[in-house]
Structure 1
Amino acid sequence: MEQPGPAITFIDFILSLARTTAVHFGDIEEPETGQRLPPNLPAAAQMVEIIAMLQERTRGNLTEPEERLMDDLLYELRMRYVQAQQDDRRIVEP
């Protein structure tokens, strides 16, 4: 019989969501294949919204380090999304 792994913490869970978001941005390799995938901005945006929803739903129930992580992480992910949108723009020459 397999022994259960260590208990996952809330911070571990949020960081795993952030890692998935980074995969969708094309910033890191996909864990299963080890390959960097092309950016998928709609999927990245959805992950940011999921993390934001979790922040809203857990407000008042988090420790100070968890709250700080959520605030900092969402700020960084939102700024990364803005950057990704700008990187995707193309200049059209007449």
Structure 2
Amino acid sequence: MAEEEGQGFVIRDKRGQAREESPTPAPEAGASSSSHAASEKSQEHAPPLTFSSFIFSLGTSALMLMGEKLSPDQPNAPVNLPQAKEIIDILSMLEEKTKGNLSTEEAAVIKDMLYTLRMKFVEATSEKKPKV
């Protein structure tokens, strides 16, 4: 586990722990549970998960791994080109495996995302190589 923690992030599966814990008592009358209310609000306003939003999420992750920022005030994230390439390969596989089963909009989203990611990847890898 110590080796995994040095690579940037750690994923902890807490699904089994919820069953082992005792249920939380209901709030007393008049008391409000702000964290519970906040989580319900975030679930209400979350956009529905669609194929296009899934592709967009993977594409955004790949762009961030190639050094792109979501906003100008965001700190620089470490570049990880092999992991970005893996996401691009996953999207390519999804495009191939879903061919003929996507709506016109979904097919355009995955095609455009792959084009953008591939161009960015070529740009990122050509910048890393020393120019002769």
Q: CA RMSD in A?
A: 2.0
The answer to whether the aligner puts 1:14 opposite 2:55 as a matched pair is yes
Which structure ranks higher in relative contact order (CA pairs < 8 Å, sequence separation ≥ 6)?
Answer: 1
User: Shift of residue 7 of structure 1?
Assistant: 2.9
Are residue 48 (structure 1) and residue 88 (structure 2) matched?
yes
Percent of residue pairs bearing the same amino acid type: 35
* Map of 2:98 onto structure 1: 58
Quote the Cα distance in structure 1 between the aligned partners of 2:104 and 2:88.
Answer: 21
State the Cα distance separating 1:91 from its structure 2 match: 3.7
Aligned to 1:28: 69
TM-score between the two structures when normalised by the length of structure 1: 0.81
Show the counterpart of 2:114: 74
Long gaps (5+) in structure 1: none
Q: What CA deviation, in whole Å up to 9, does each residue of 1:35-67 have, x standing for no partner?
A: 321211101100100111111111111000111
Look up the SS of the partner of 2:77 in the other structure: coil
Structure 2: any 5+ residue segments left out of the alignment?
1-35
Instruction: Give me the whole-angstrom Cα distance separating, in 1, the residues matched to 2:47 and 2:110.
Output: 22
Runs ≥4 in structure 1, deviation > 4 angstroms?
1-6
Aligned residues: 89
